[in-house]
Amino acid sequence: MKTKIKKLIMEGQDFLVTTHIDPDGDAIGSAFAFAFALRSLGKKATVYFNDQVPYRYEFLPGPQITHTMPHGMYDAVFVLDCGSLFRIGKGHEGAALLKPLVNIDHHDTNDLFGTVNLVDKKASSTGEIIYRLLKYLKITIDKNMAENIYTAVFTDTGSLRYENTSLSAYRVCEEMVKAGANPSQIAMMIYENHPKERYLLLGEVLRTLATYNGTVAIAHVTGDMFEKTGTNSEFVDGFVEFIKEIRGIEVAVLMRELDKDLYKISMRGKGTIDVAAICNMFGGGGHRNAAGCRIEGTIEETRRKLLDALCAGQ
């Protein structure tokens, strides 16, 4: 796969780089680092994101981003950190027609949508795969690339705490620090730089917290709560991990109201239950310990469907 990708990059000139909706640190860091890498080879890289970069990742050095799916022809389209093509958001139907389509990812549920698939389900993060690809391409990793790759690996491993915190994840981080990434500064920008409103919202969300059987924790967030606290969906990042910290909890769930009777589900596990398999039952996906999906119904119906699925999945 890497040989094919190398050939595409060396023979092409004009590339499109994209990632998933609601981009996280791995999505953004991988896309930015890869775009910088292509440019370091004298190539053109257009970066398309469906959504804005969340405030906590605004410190990352990055190229200009377009938020409308470009219609031009590219020598290759690189889709990073997406298990399925629809995850890139608006314009995914158009992207399906673009070839070659290079799928670079690490999700357990990746459906190999690319014409070229560089998918390593054992990799800690897409950032780690990008790092290996850059090494293979003999690209010198500069400070900008290093900060992005470090952030990708660091955030996708839950600050080097989750099960995917492999020796290779540490090694990539080590290399990135050597190349100029500053770990304390990056951690501070991501985790200690929140607007006060985030905590007002957290207060609202924690009021909805319920536990089931001592092993499942569920909380929810509504449009009204965002309005009341002057926040939006990007402020929710980290909440589901927070309730997962409760002793004995094996699965933590955050239900976010997207529309009337439509919820976005974020699910986190501690290794005992495959939450990607649960989310897959509702058409979603992810990793064994971190996954998501969407469910239609009232809040109570949604909660019931989740609890039933979790019971069946145990």
Q: Which residues bind Mn ion (CB under 5 A)?
A: 26, 81, 125-126, 156
Task: Tell me how far, at minimum, the Cβ of 308 lies from Mn ion, in Å.
Answer: 28
- Which one, 62 or 285, has the nearer CB to Mn ion? 285
Residue found by looking up tokens 């609202």 in the block: 204
Torsion of CA 287, 289, 292, 293, to 10 degrees: 90
∠ CA(225), CA(202), CA(218), 5° rounding? 90
DSSP assignment of 211-238? EETTTEEEEEE-HHHHHHHT--GGGGTT
Give the list of residues 6+ apart from residue 15 with CB closer than 8 angstroms, or none.
9, 38, 43, 44, 45, 46, 74, 75, 76, 77, 78
- Which one, 82 or 216, has the nearer CB to Mn ion? 82
Task: Tell me how far, at minimum, the Cβ of 11 lies from Mn ion, in Å.
Answer: 28
Is the bond preceding 195 in cis, omega lying within 30 degrees of 0? no
Residue found by looking up tokens 């770990």 in the block: 183
- Which one, 15 or 162, has the nearer CB to Mn ion? 162
- Which one, 157 or 229, has the nearer CB to Mn ion? 157
List residues bridging with 14 in a β-sheet. 44
- Which one, 146 or 217, has the nearer CB to Mn ion? 146
- Which one, 106 or 256, has the nearer CB to Mn ion? 106
Task: Tell me how far, at minimum, the Cβ of 127 lies from Mn ion, in Å.
Answer: 8
Cα(98)–Cα(214) distance, integer angstroms: 48
Task: Tell me how far, at minimum, the Cβ of 126 lies from Mn ion, in Å.
Answer: 5
Task: Tell me how far, at minimum, the Cβ of 26 lies from Mn ion, in Å.
Answer: 3
- Which one, 83 or 216, has the nearer CB to Mn ion? 83
CB burial readout 249-276, b (16+ within 10 A) else e: bbbbbbbbbeeeeebbbbbbbbeebbbb
> Which of 131, 77, 73 is CA-nearest to residue 100?
77
Q: Which residue is nearest to Mn ion (CB)?
A: 26
